Amino acid sequence: MVKKAIIPAAGYGTRNLPITKVVPKELFPIGNKPAINYVVEEAMAAGIEEILIVVSRSKNLIADYFDRSLELEAYLERKQKTKLLEKIKIPKIQIQYTRQPYAKGLGDAILLGKNFVGNEPFAVLLPDEVIFEKETDGLIQLTKLYDENKSSVLGLYKVEKQLLSSYGVVEWENLKKDIVEITSIVEKPVNNPPSDMAVIGRYVFNPSIFSCLEKTKPGVGGEIQLTDAINEMIKSEKIYGVTIHGNRFDISRFEEYLAANQYIQPFIE
């Protein structure tokens, strides 16, 4: 069973400047909750019991959001605003934090969770991608496959050709409906992407990924790329991909952020 998860949230958010100078993109509101709240709820629905959020020193607002506000609670209690008290309850899950001192890439951020994970399988959820699915939350689709095979799993999504240069794109061999075996992955291909299937921000890894990350040298953008470590991992063990069902939005893209808000609007109380 997958019980631990890492949420990397230390990036600069350059695609969303200038607002990300002061507001972390993970706290962008979707409806009346920030994006990262939905991601934490998704992790909880998949059975995750402990989360490590990787932050930078400019992301203290994230820790503040998941902390109690005793003054506000006391005020709402005095005013007998019970419904509002319910809205500010923090998720009932253990959340820890660690800082990424320098922005050295997603691979480096995940490597900071090595001691937190120990020798257990773990999930990775990128908080700038939210998935809304009425029947099965996104991460559950990965953890279910992991429980069946005990092999690492990547969440996949069919992406329009002109957007593939923003993602890791996989080569694969078909196994059965919605499930493939990954044979390689290319980070942000500019020309000739190997397929139209991109890795989105959901992963389940065996802890062996850490030894691969430790060997990984800076790649695209001078950063420690998770995709390079995955390619190294493929040499010694199987990695599967599963097509994620649900409405997925990349909030780093303005039009998708707006679409996420439009989608969630009917469900807001």
pLDDT per residue, tens digit, the chain (269 aa), is 899 999 999 988 888 889 999 999 999 999 999 999 999 999 999 999 999 999 998 889 999 999 988 999 899 989 888 889 888 888 889 999 999 988 888 999 999 999 999 999 999 999 999 998 765 678 999 999 999 999 999 999 888 888 888 888 898 887 787 899 999 998 888 888 888 889 989 999 999 999 999 999 887 777 888 999 999 999 999 999 999 988 899 999 999 999 999 999 887 76
CA–CA dist 252, 269 (Å, integer): 26
Number of domains in the chain: 1
CATH number of the domain bearing residue 47:
3.90.550.10
Task: Give the range of the structural domain holding residue 157, as residue numbers without chain letter.
Answer: 4-267
Beta bridge partners of 170: 185
Asked if residues 257 and 144 have their Cβ atoms less than 8 Å apart, the reply is no
What stretches of 101-184 show up as alpha helix (H) in DSSP? 106-111, 114-117, 138-149
Report pLDDT for 192.
82
What's this model's pTM, rounded to 2 decimal places?
A: 0.93
Nearest alpha carbon to residue 147 among 71, 210, 204: 204
Report pLDDT for 134.
63
